[in-house]
Amino acid sequence: MKRILLIDDDADFIAVNEKRLTDAGYSVTSAYNGEEGVEKARAQEPDVVVLDVMMTTPDEGFEVARKLRNDARTKHTPIVMLTGINVSEYQLPKALGDYDKDPTWNPVDVFLDKPVTAEKLLNTIAEVVK
């Protein structure tokens, strides 16, 4: 059974997606902030991390992604980053471009905008755990 770690400060998002992922056959662990998420990722070495950007701080998810990439236990763990930044009042001007994955600043495997459909999240996770 593949292990998924959800890191998000939105309790409703966690509850809904724990159920969806468990129903799809995954083992799910959750963390409600970046520090807790990093600790759980290091201890449990999940098969995939699903990570929010804005939690305790507006850029906490980016910091978590870099910490996971710089740790031998989690450096190859796929990270699916989710955020509402690109579609919210925080959206960057088009001249600057949208947030996306970047090997140094935002070293994630997939970057998805919230809200994300259950189907899209499940399909993305299935792809990265192959």
Helix (H), strand (E) at residue 11:
helix 11-23
pLDDT tens-digit profile of 77-95?
Answer: 999 998 876 544 444 443 3
pLDDT(33) > 90? yes
**Are 48 and 81 in contact, with CB atoms under 8 Å apart?**
no
Cβ–Cβ under 8 Å, residues 81 and 101: yes
Residue 53 has pLDDT above 80, yes or no: yes
Question: Exposure of 118 by Cβ count < 10 A (0-12 exposed, 13-18 middle, 19+ buried)?
Answer: middle
Least confident of 10-14, 67-71, 95-99: 95-99
State pTM to two decimals: 0.86
Give the pLDDT of residue 85. 63
Residue 112: per-residue pLDDT? 87
- Mean per-residue pLDDT for 98-110? 67
Share of the chain above pLDDT 90, in %: 65
DSSP state of 86: G
Residues 6 or more apart whose CB falls under 8 angstroms from that of 89 comprise none
Q: Class assignment of domain 3-128? A: alpha beta
Q: Which helix (H) or strand (E) holds 115?
A: none
Q: Is pLDDT above 60 for 98? A: no
CB 6 within 8 A of CB 17: yes
Residue type, 56: T
